[in-house]
């Protein structure tokens, strides 16, 4: 697959993360970025400036220290054990409001990684350095992917979610080259499994945001229109869950997002659509033709990113409409957006 523009990857991520308000932290269409780390560096600069202006998140942390006198709750056994009382001192437990919390530690560690990235633009380096220094009261930590799931977010610190998504992506893809001792960025766009998950979330959230006023947008389980015979049970049948379903009073459109390097397979020197994909959507559409959807036209679309060429093929199968369509992720964003709205769900 040819290279997807950096700006488009950023928009895909913003939709997939369901963070559209934050996507305009950086005017990505008005600037040139040589790679994603430099774009994310500028996103972090804008986001952190906002955080520092508003005030970094703080939380109470419990500490136990030896004091002259009493502070907080006396730890009597510890004080006796260490003979502190004889020296007019005592071990005390107390809660302290501090910026030294995990979410700030993760952001500081991410800036540290970027500052050691050899391809970081000089401008980004100059912007990040003072922000790193502003975390002077936050510990330097070695982070793991598991750390991101331990952060507790709520309404008052929800803005952190977007920046932590950026930080996690950088953590998982900005790696140290052991042979050269340098940080390198692994191009996750070439990871078909990760891009498949991203593509699916992007398509779902794009339609939820952009056509949610016209359609009910959902990812729904479909019930098999089957009757078990004898001791048989429907529990043994595979689950059917759509990637995206758009429903209004007259239409139900099932979109199955398929991020494949090769949408077709070659058989006897002739290219054909993947049969498993066709049968999957055919099963979805067939089992949606029920009383709940009486009066609606039910259609299925298999949606692929463009690889070598665009295609738009539609078939009628026993009164059901199933289409194979592509979306070109390499197009300028406004054209890509128009295609998703006007060509895919026309």
Among residues 252, 244, 246, the alpha carbon closest in space to that of 297 is found at 252
Mean pLDDT score, 124-140: 95
Among residues 203, 45, 13, 41, the alpha carbon closest in space to that of 5 is found at 13
Q: Looking at residue 315, what is its pLDDT?
A: 94
Half-sphere exposure of 44 (CA within 13 A, CB side): 33
Q: Looking at residue 78, what is its pLDDT?
A: 80
- Reported as a single tens digit per residue, the pLDDT across 290-307 is 888 888 999 999 999 987
Proportion of the chain above pLDDT 70, given as a percent: 96
Distance (Å, rounded) from C-alpha 315 to C-alpha 233? Answer: 33
Question: Is there a contact between 38 and 342 (Cβ–Cβ < 8 Å)?
Answer: no
Q: Looking at residue 80, what is its pLDDT?
A: 79
More confident residue, 58 or 322: 322
Distance (Å, rounded) from C-alpha 255 to C-alpha 211? Answer: 14
Distance (Å, rounded) from C-alpha 174 to C-alpha 186? Answer: 6
Query: What is the 8-class DSSP label of residue 213?
Result: T
Among residues 110, 135, 143, 133, the alpha carbon closest in space to that of 44 is found at 110
Query: What is the 8-class DSSP label of residue 301?
Result: E
Q: Looking at residue 155, what is its pLDDT?
A: 85
Q: Minimum mean pLDDT among 50-59, 79-88, 117-126: which range?
A: 79-88
Q: Looking at residue 30, what is its pLDDT?
A: 64
More confident residue, 246 or 183: 246
Among residues 216, 202, 280, 265, the alpha carbon closest in space to that of 245 is found at 216
Backbone angle region of 268, left / alpha / beta, with phi > 0 → left and psi within -120 to 50 → alpha? left
Q: Looking at residue 186, what is its pLDDT?
A: 82
Question: Is there a contact between 162 and 19 (Cβ–Cβ < 8 Å)?
Answer: yes
Proportion of the chain above pLDDT 90, given as a percent: 61
- pLDDT for 69 beyond 70: no
Question: Is there a contact between 167 and 148 (Cβ–Cβ < 8 Å)?
Answer: yes
Query: What is the 8-class DSSP label of residue 86?
Result: G
Q: Looking at residue 14, what is its pLDDT?
A: 94
- pLDDT for 70 beyond 80: no
Mean pLDDT score, 75-100: 78
Measured over all CA atoms, what is the biggest interatomic distance in the chain, rounded to whole angstroms? 92
- pLDDT for 91 beyond 70: yes
Q: Crossing angle of helices 36-54/122-134, nearest 10°? A: 30
CB atoms within 10 A of CB 78: 15
* Bridge partners (DSSP) listed for residue 175: 184
- Reported as a single tens digit per residue, the pLDDT across 172-219 is 998 877 677 777 888 888 888 889 999 999 999 999 999 999 999 999
Mean pLDDT score, 124-143: 94
Q: Looking at residue 105, what is its pLDDT?
A: 96
Six-digit token string for 169? 């992506």
- pLDDT for 124 beyond 80: yes
CA geometry: angle 182, 188, 192, nearest 5 deg: 145
Six-digit token string for 175? 């790696």
What three-state secondary structure class fits 72? coil
Mean pLDDT value across the chain: 89
Q: Looking at residue 178, what is its pLDDT?
A: 64
Question: Is there a contact between 79 and 91 (Cβ–Cβ < 8 Å)?
Answer: yes
H or E segment to which residue 303 belongs: strand 297-305
- pLDDT for 141 beyond 90: yes
Six-digit token string for 215? 């359609």
Question: Is there a contact between 245 and 253 (Cβ–Cβ < 8 Å)?
Answer: yes
């Amino acid at each position: 697959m040819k290279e997807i523009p950096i700006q488009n990857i950023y928009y895909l991520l913003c939709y997939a993360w369901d963070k559209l308000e934050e996507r305009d932290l950086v005017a990505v269409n008005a600037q040139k970025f040589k790679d994603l780390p430099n774009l994310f560096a500028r996103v972090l600069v804008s986001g952190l400036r906002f955080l520092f202006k508003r005030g970094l998140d703080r939380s109470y942390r419990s500490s136990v220290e030896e004091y002259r006198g009493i502070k907080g709750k006396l730890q009597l056994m510890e004080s006796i054990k260490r003979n502190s009382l004889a020296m007019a001192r005592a071990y005390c437990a107390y809660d302290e409001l501090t910026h030294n919390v995990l979410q700030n530690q993760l952001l500081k560690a991410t800036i540290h990684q970027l500052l050691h990235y050899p391809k970081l633009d000089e401008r980004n380096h100059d912007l990040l350095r003072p922000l790193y220094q502003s975390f002077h009261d936050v510990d330097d930590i070695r982070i793991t992917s598991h750390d991101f799931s331990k952060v507790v977010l709520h309404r008052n610190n929800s803005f952190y979610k977007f920046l932590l998504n950026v930080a996690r992506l950088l953590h998982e893809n900005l790696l140290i080259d052991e042979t050269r001792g340098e940080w390198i960025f692994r191009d996750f766009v070439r990871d078909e499994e990760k891009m498949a998950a991203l593509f699916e979330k992007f398509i779902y959230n794009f339609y939820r945001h952009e056509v949610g006023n016209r359609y009910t947008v959902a990812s729904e389980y479909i019930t098999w229109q089957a009757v078990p015979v004898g001791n048989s049970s429907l529990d043994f049948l595979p689950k059917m869950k759509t990637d995206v379903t758009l429903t209004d009073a007259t239409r139900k459109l099932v979109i199955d997002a398929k991020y494949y390097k090769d949408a077709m397979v070659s058989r006897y020197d002739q290219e054909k659509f993947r049969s498993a994909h066709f049968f999957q959507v055919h099963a979805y559409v067939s089992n949606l033709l029920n009383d709940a959807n009486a009066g609606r036209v039910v259609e299925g679309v298999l949606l692929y990113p463009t690889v070598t060429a665009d295609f738009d093929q539609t078939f009628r199968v026993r009164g059901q409409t199933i289409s194979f369509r592509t979306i070109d992720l390499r197009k300028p964003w406004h054209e890509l957006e128009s295609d998703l709205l006007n060509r895919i769900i026309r």
